[in-house]
Amino acid sequence: MVRAAVRLAAAVVAAAPLVVSTSLAGEFLVQPLMVAEMKAVFGRVESRIVVPGRARIGGVVQDVRVSEGDHVTKGEVLALVVDDKLALQLRAADARLEALNSQLENARLELERAEQLRASGTGTQTRVDQARTQFEVATNQVAAAVAEKAVVEQSAKEGEVLAPATGRVLTVPVTLGSVVMAGENVARIAPGPYYLRLSLPERHAAEIVEGAEVAIGERGLVQDIGELPAVHSGRISKVYPEIADGRVSADVEIEGIGDYFVNERTLVSIPVGKRSALAVPPEAVRTVHGIDYVRLAADNGEMDVAVILGEIVGDDDARRIEVLSGLRAGDRVVLP
């Protein structure tokens, strides 16, 4: 498509040769230039952090409030786990607390009666001390029962499985009615940041360097990309030192990748070396009957040379089109 656009532009220039004055023509000296050798590979979107939402108690899953792909915030309830034994323990704690409150009230009355008898002179100090001790023991027993009930209530509250971080839900491996143990995964959440993981053949390991710029193409098989640009740019952030199964891995950082799915694949063009190439400005090429020509300047005049074009090289300020055959270093190309 790029070559067709170049040919169209060159054809427009060649279609009106009479309106261009020869006094405005210039020359371009063909010299080799180094261009990056690009290789197209598939990169896989991954999240640097994947945290599990775990059940804090064992029991039966009574409610699942999220599904795969949902966006959750930290502390949001993902699911509800219910342990029927906790309800029985809570009833037992309430009954024990009522019994201890009754004993505490009886101990308080005994202490007041002993103090009244001691004040009237008919009671002894020993009786007062015994009643006070019984009252303090009953008070402490009530406090312990209240603490035990709070433990049971807290265990019941921990049946709510909370999101450990803000991100997207990757998997929910449980269903309603399933039995889970304490510490078992209820959901996996990817909070990011997202990056591309590349896997290249071992022969390119020496050419891959950190900080190199890469080009990211359109999203895999997605046709309607909305307002997303057709091509993103990124850079190689990390090259892993270990080669596994004859392949080297590298990570690519890219902005605006949050809309991608985790493990989604997209095409990445990565530099794996440099090569020497001959290139000319696009306006130097004209197309006649499907054949590309370049006009050369010689000592005895000008002549047209058929060329085979390659890809566009260079940046926006010095864009060139590669010539695969037909030219050699030192040729003088006539510009319109």
Q: Are residues 255 and 325 in the same domain?
A: no
Task: Return the axis-axis angle of helices 84-120 and 125-157, rounded to nearest 10°.
Answer: 160
Are 171 and 301 members of one domain? no
CA angle centred on 217, ends 211 and 220, rounded to 5°: 125
Q: Tell me the CB-side half-sphere exposure of residue 95, using CA atoms within 13 A.
A: 6
Give me the pLDDT at residue 268, please: 83
Task: For residue 305, give both structure tokens.
Answer: 């040379």
Same domain, 27 and 58: no
SS (H, E, C) 173-191: CCCCCCEECCCCEEEEEEC
pLDDT at 117: 86
Domain housing 89: 84-158
Domain CATH for 167: 2.40.50.100
Percent of the chain residues topping a pLDDT of 90: 21
pLDDT at 185 (0 to 100): 92
With residue 134 as reference, give the H or E element that holds it: helix 125-157
- DSSP-assigned letters across all residues of 29-45: E---EEEEEEEEEEEEE
170 and 218 co-located in one domain: no
User: Which of 272, 289, 316 is the endpoint of a domain?
Assistant: 272
Q: 315 pLDDT band (50/70/90 cuts)?
A: low
pLDDT band at 262; cut points 50, 70, 90 = confident
Identify whether residues 116 and 169 lie together within a single domain: no
Higher pLDDT, 258 or 190: 190
Chain position carrying tokens 């090429």: 285
State phi, psi for 15 to the nearest 5 degrees: -75, -15
Same domain? 135 vs 14: no
The tokens for 31 are: 């010299």
* Same domain flag for 94 and 147: yes
Judge if 185 and 283 occupy the same domain. Answer: no
Q: Let me know: does 46 contact 263? Beta carbons within 8 Å.
A: yes
Count of other CB atoms within 10 angstroms of residue 99: 13
Domain boundary among 174, 191, 208: 191
Last residue within a domain, chosen from 158, 183, 215: 158
Q: What does the pLDDT read at residue 24? A: 41
The CATH number that applies at residue 212 is 2.40.30.170
Q: How confident is the model at residue 7 (pLDDT cuts 50, 70, 90)?
A: very low
User: Please, are residues 240 and 250 in contact by the beta-carbon 8 Å criterion?
Assistant: yes
Band (123; pLDDT cuts 50, 70, 90): confident
CATH number at residue 22: 2.40.420
Going by pLDDT thresholds of 50, 70 and 90, the confidence category of residue 188 is very high
The pLDDT assigned to 3 comes to 46
Which bin fits 314, alpha (ψ -120 to 50), beta or left (φ > 0)? left
Q: What is the side-by-side strand order in the sheet with 71-72?
A: 51-54, 185-190, 167-171, 71-72
- In this prediction, residue 259 has a pLDDT band, given cuts at 50, 70 and 90, of low
Provide the token pair at 160.
Answer: 């709510």
Do residues 260 and 217 lie in contact, with contact meaning Cβ atoms separated by under 8 Å?
Answer: no
The pTM score is 0.53
Which residues, including other chains, have CB under 8 Å from residue 80's CB and lie 6 or more apart? 61, 62, 63, 65, 159, 160, 161
Average pLDDT, the chain: 81
Give the number of domains in the chain: 4
Residues 203 and 248 in one domain: yes
pLDDT of 225 > 60? The answer is: no
Asked if residue 53 has pLDDT above 90, the reply is: yes
Pair 205, 266 in one domain: yes
% pLDDT > 70, the chain: 86
- Are residues 58 and 170 both part of a single domain? yes
Task: Mark whether 254 and 288 lie in a shared domain.
Answer: no
In this structure, of 42-46, 70-74, 299-303, 313-317, the range with the lowest mean pLDDT score is 313-317
| 89-103 residue pLDDT tens | 888 988 999 999 999
